[in-house]
Structure 1
Amino acid sequence: MSQENTPSSGSDNSGATKNAADFSYAEGRRYHGESESPYPLPNDMTEINRLDTQHYLLQNLTGKSYHAPIDNPKRVLDIGTGTGIWMREMSEKLPESEFLGLDIVPRPADVSFAQNCHFEAANILKGIPRPDNHFDFVFGRLLFTGIPEQSWAFYAKECARVCAPGGWVEMMELNARICDGGKFGDRFSDLMIAALAKRGVASETVDVIENYMQDAGLVDIRVEEFKMPLGNWGDRLGTLFWENAIMVAKGMIPMYVAALGIPADELRQELKEIDEGVQQHRAYVTVRVVCGRKS
């Protein structure tokens, strides 16, 4: 990426800044080392592949790349951009728009962006590093594991603050509760909810995102819900969603060990049993898409 495509805030061509997180390692996986963020998932190549697969699964489930009624936005913010796949694809659909992706760690070194895409490493729990009214579209998805319950109001207000009048904020999230998964689905959910709670994260905040948006001053709030099938009963999509969920759980093993005191080997065996057990049910989780406009 040439120098003229570098964000004005001072990040270099790799997307690294003085706020870029160091790395930590556990269970043969690489994790971010940002002590002020509870985000529990890895950031290695295995996770990169999982995130890209998850991106396409979500698009297949909802049938859309975005849900807010935007129209040729001048500036777009992608919060928790991860591999940057959503931003890269959107930049092709909206070539006249300028995109900024924020994430807690530097972007993968082998990922290239189009001329209208930029990346910056930042911890959004400390604030979004842009001035008021800067973006016409603010987008974020599946960030609930990294946002403590006490930070949701601040996060929503920051999204509203950097959104320009007439612009839109969109959040796509799901909570950690598996429905209709029998005792195995309950156990999967209970493990994740209990471990996240030890880190200050409450998954049920996802069910009231619209309240945070309203309190932040956003209007015309719209909510859509989609049932994400988990397991073979949901055909190919359900099979892949469940495989993705198991990968998430395995990536969180260090968190489970630290938070719940359960040995890693015991967790791996339990996840194997959960994997087999959930397949016997019509399990699903609910994905919620909430959009709000800044007046």
Structure 2
Amino acid sequence: MNMGCASSKYLESNSDSQSETTEFQYIDGRRYHNSENAVYHLPNDDDESDRLHMLHFLVRYIWQSNFSAPIEHILSKPGAKILDIGYPTAKIIGIDISSNQPTQIKPTNFEFIRTNALEGLPFEDNTFDFVFQRFLVSGYTKDKWPYVISEIVRVLKPGGFVELCEPSNVTGGGPVTRRLWNCEAEIFKERGCDWDTYQKLEEYLQNQGQMENIIKEAKKIYYSVNYNNDLGLSKAFVGCAVTSLVSLKPILTKKMQISNEEYDKLAKASEKELSEDDSYLVIVRVYASKAIEK
């Protein structure tokens, strides 16, 4: 798991300690994690990075902001520390936050660290003013979410904010679209992940016991222009869904026991359905502050 955080230096730990041949595996030309305990089933190559970057900009457009938590006073404070958890969008989101108008690829106050959040965050208690995590529904098993939340809260300063953002699976739509996304949902379940995580973010923060003023924001995003009255946005979301299907191709063809050619036809049919039917997804942001001991 990669994390971007505002800092005065640059570090990428463990990047040279493992060779690419042991750290990654390649399936049909796409690069995947090669860890035995990895549940993330999507690729982690440049093409997937481009897809997630596109999704980042779409979400930012929908909310007209990188985050919802009221942290402007934190960002303006000298020495504020921000932890952005996720791969690979943490880097671009972190840069967005650490530099309002970036003029360089990596601002000097941005640090990039590779670690595994499931093994604990490598930071002291009460280190960060703001912790941001997004789109890791496929990165953690259902039983690991409480642990990850506890780690996030542990490294968060009292009075600091955490913000979590997760999507739902695609809902509704035509038969081809349902077939493809339902197949991915089966893979999710087999690997212990939970597509309903977006509905449980509030509960996870509440159950942790140290968070207060928990706020939830949700956006329902339709793919068809007939529902959201924005042709450009519809095309962008359909495009993002199609590139997601491309990323899922190696694993779904194996699961569905179909050829690459048949899968390509299904993906094309799904693209048409998404543009015309009532398919949608829900994206949820939940933020809260860590209680200050009295």
Q: TM-score, normalised by structure 1?
A: 0.84
Query: Aligned to 1:133, which of 122, 126, 129?
Result: 126
Question: Would the aligned equivalents of 1:20 and 1:122 in 2 still touch at CA under 8 Å?
Answer: no
The letter for the 2-side match of 1:41 is: L
Deviations 1:34-75 (A, max 9, x none): 322211222222222222211111111111111111122411
- The residue aligned with 2:93 is 86
Q: Which residue in the other structure is 1:288 paired with?
A: 284
How far apart are the structure 2 equivalents of 1:231 and 1:32? 34
Structure 1 residue matching 2:171: 3-state secondary structure: coil
Which residue is 1:5 aligned to?
9
SS at match of 1:152: helix
Q: Which amino acid aligns with 2:235?
A: T
Q: Do the aligned partners of 1:124 and 1:155 also contact (CA within 8 Å) in 2?
A: yes
SS of residue in 2 equivalent to 1:168: strand
Percent identical residues: 28
Q: Within 1, Cα distance between the matches of 2:101 and 2:15?
A: 25
**Count of equivalent residues:** 271
- Would you say 1:221 and 2:214 are equivalent positions? yes
Quote the residue 1:103 is aligned against.
none
Higher relative CO (Cα under 8 Å, sequence separation at least 6) belongs to 2
Matched to 1:6, the amino acid is Y
Q: Which runs of 5+ in 1 are unaligned?
A: 96-110
Task: Decide whether the 8 Å contact of 1:176 with 1:192 is kept in 2.
Answer: no
In structure 1, give the amino acid aligned to 2:28.
Answer: E
Alignment correspondent of 1:108: none
Verify the 8 A CA contact 1:19 1:121 in the aligned structure 2. Answer: no
In structure 2, stretches of 5+ residues that fail to align are 1-7
CA displacement 1:191-224 (0-9 Å, x = unmatched) = 2211111111111122111101111121111000
* Cα 1:20/1:260, change in 2 over 3 Å: farther
RMSD (Å) for aligned C-alpha atoms: 2.4
Aligned to 1:251: 247
Partner of 2:199: 207
Match of 1:113 in 2: 106
Instruction: Select the residue among 144, 159, 162 that pairs with 1:169.
Output: 162
1:259–1:122 distance in 2 versus 1, CA, 3 Å: farther
**Aligned partners of 1:226, 1:20: CA distance in 2, in Å?**
41
- Quick one: distance in 2 between partners of 1:190 and 1:77? 33
Q: One-letter code of the match for 2:182?
A: D
* Counterpart Cα distance in 2 of 1:185 and 1:256: 13
Name which of structure 1's ranges 272-281 and 51-60 shifts more when overlaid on structure 2: 272-281
Between the aligned partners of 2:170 and 2:163, the Cα distance in structure 1 is: 22
**Residue of structure 1 equivalent to 2:3:** none
Letter of the 1:271 partner, please give it: A
